[in-house]
């Protein structure tokens, strides 16, 4: 694929089409490609041959696009495209406005409600308290089904100290007033600065059991910390989290580079405990190169009974370089546990602007050292919490 003359939106559309085929979903229906091609907003017209227009937190190299492949039960894997919508002249306020316009268009086109979004958006989108990004929007494509959407906010507006209060208010507005106290006890360790609430998301367009999700980042955590974080969710077996850390993360930790991220899923009927828990592990920080990431992902999928061929084909779509030539094409792997959609998700970066060079074994060892400084205020640029979800 010749990228030099393509725009961001054109690239996203073509990659989505190729990913859709690669995992076995066939062709994306033509009536979906047009609307989905507008997800990036006016900023999506930026040519790939030009430098980034906006410093997106969605990926390491500031690409405002991320793909992921989700495995669940015996179903054909689903494809997810996540983007950061951008105005023609991006700013936090301008990107908020464009994102709202895009969501309004999609709600009308795909017949879903924005009621929950409207209930909490002003908490996270206060122009005087701008966070690290405005809104991320993702679309999930399944076989023979209407696409569903998801919206992400960040609660770390100006100072991370305000994040817990914002999360508590948002959960209460959405019908989960008793959820925050037990969540805080399990997600946050007693030592200040080790854990931080970093994302909040809503399912849009889901007909059954739409989720409200709260994300917490765990700096310098080990498997014992992660098992503690996961216990609050119903139906979670902590031992499976330990196995996941050893297999994907290479050991028990501590994971002292980019933090591991917990997400807690609340659905209708939940009160004080979430029904789902997902552990997102930034595999790119705990391997030497993407060839090693690939091997660990294949082992993970096999361990959970999922075929590896869809992932291999999707990786082939994403890869424009040898896997041993860099690290970061596979930024995250996640394990979903509990009562809501258990499974595995693998994330794929486009690396449109930059490739991170492979790291040495000595440098890799440093990423498991507790000597890494744990942030207590704003998150440092080199530990940005890109890619969740």
Q: Which helix (H) or strand (E) holds 201?
A: strand 195-204
Distance from C-alpha of 184 to C-alpha of 253, rounded to nearest angstrom:
22
Q: Could you tell me how far CA 355 lies from the centroid of its own chain?
A: 20
**Burial classification of residue 363, based on how many CB atoms lie within 10 Å of its CB (0-12 exposed, 13-18 middle, 19 or more buried):** exposed
pLDDT at 379 over 70: no
310 preceded by a cis bond (ω within 30 of 0): no
Distance from C-alpha of 171 to C-alpha of 159, rounded to nearest angstrom:
20
The stretch 237-254 carries a mean pLDDT of 96
User: Which one is predicted more confidently, 306 or 30?
Assistant: 306
pLDDT tens column, 292-301: 999 999 999 9
User: Which one is predicted more confidently, 379 or 207?
Assistant: 207
pLDDT confidence of residue 383: 44
Could you tell me which residues are beta bridge partners of residue 217? 196, 261
pLDDT confidence of residue 372: 45
**DSSP 8-state class, residue 60:** T
The stretch 205-232 carries a mean pLDDT of 92
Mean pLDDT across the chain: 91
pLDDT at 358 over 50: yes
Domain spans, the chain: 8-383
The candidate with the shortest Cα–Cα distance to 8, out of 61, 74, 83, is 83
pLDDT confidence of residue 369: 78
For residue 24, how many other CB atoms are within 10 A of its CB? 13
Report the range of poorest mean pLDDT among 174-178, 202-206, 314-318: 202-206
pTM above 0.85, yes or no: yes
The residue behind tokens 């999928």 is 301
The stretch 97-124 carries a mean pLDDT of 95
Distance from C-alpha of 5 to C-alpha of 319, rounded to nearest angstrom:
19
Could you tell me which residues are beta bridge partners of residue 264? 214, 277
CA angle 30, 36, 39 (to 5 degrees): 160
pLDDT at 43 over 70: yes
The stretch 34-60 carries a mean pLDDT of 92
pLDDT tens column, 159-175: 567 889 999 999 999 99
pLDDT at 370 over 90: no
């Amino acid at each position: 694929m010749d990228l030099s003359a393509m725009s961001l939106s054109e690239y996203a559309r073509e990659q989505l089409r190729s990913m859709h085929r690669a995992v076995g979903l066939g062709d994306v229906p033509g009536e979906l490609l047009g609307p989905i091609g507008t997800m990036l907003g006016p900023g999506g017209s930026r040519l790939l041959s030009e430098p980034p227009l906006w410093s997106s937190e969605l990926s390491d190299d500031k690409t405002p696009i991320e793909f992921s492949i989700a495995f669940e039960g015996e179903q054909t894997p689903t494809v997810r495209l996540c983007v950061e919508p951008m105005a023609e002249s991006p700013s936090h306020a301008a990107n908020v406005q464009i994102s709202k316009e895009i969501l309004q268009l999609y709600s009308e086109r795909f017949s879903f409600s924005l009621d929950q979004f409207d209930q909490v958006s002003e908490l996270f989108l206060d122009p005087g308290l701008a966070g690290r990004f405005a809104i991320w929007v993702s679309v999930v494509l399944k076989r023979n089904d209407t696409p569903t959407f998801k919206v992400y906010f960040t609660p770390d507006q100006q100072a991370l100290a305000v994040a817990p209060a914002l999360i508590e208010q948002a959960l209460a507005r959405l019908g989960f007033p008793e959820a925050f106290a037990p969540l805080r006890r399990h997600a946050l360790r007693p030592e200040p600065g080790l854990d931080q609430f970093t994302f909040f998301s809503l399912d849009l367009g889901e007909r059954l059991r739409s989720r409200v999700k709260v994300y917490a980042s765990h700096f310098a955590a080990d498997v014992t910390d992660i098992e503690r974080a996961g216990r609050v969710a119903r139906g979670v077996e902590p031992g499976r989290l330990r196995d996941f850390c050893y297999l994907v993360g290479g050991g028990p930790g501590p994971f002292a580079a980019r933090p591991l991220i917990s997400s807690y899923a609340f659905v209708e009927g939940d009160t004080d405990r979430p029904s789902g828990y997902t552990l997102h592990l930034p595999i790119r920080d705990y391997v030497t190169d993407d060839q090693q990431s690939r091997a660990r992902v294949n082992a993970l999928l096999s361990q959970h009974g999922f075929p590896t061929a869809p992932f291999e084909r999707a990786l082939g779509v994403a890869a424009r370089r040898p896997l041993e030539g860099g690290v970061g094409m596979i930024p995250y792997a996640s394990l979903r546990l509990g009562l809501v959609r258990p499974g595995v998700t693998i994330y794929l970066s486009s690396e449109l602007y930059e490739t991170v060079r492979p790291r040495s074994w000595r440098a890799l060892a440093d990423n498991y050292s507790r000597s890494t400084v744990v942030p207590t205020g704003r998150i440092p640029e080199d530990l940005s919490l890109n890619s969740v979800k």
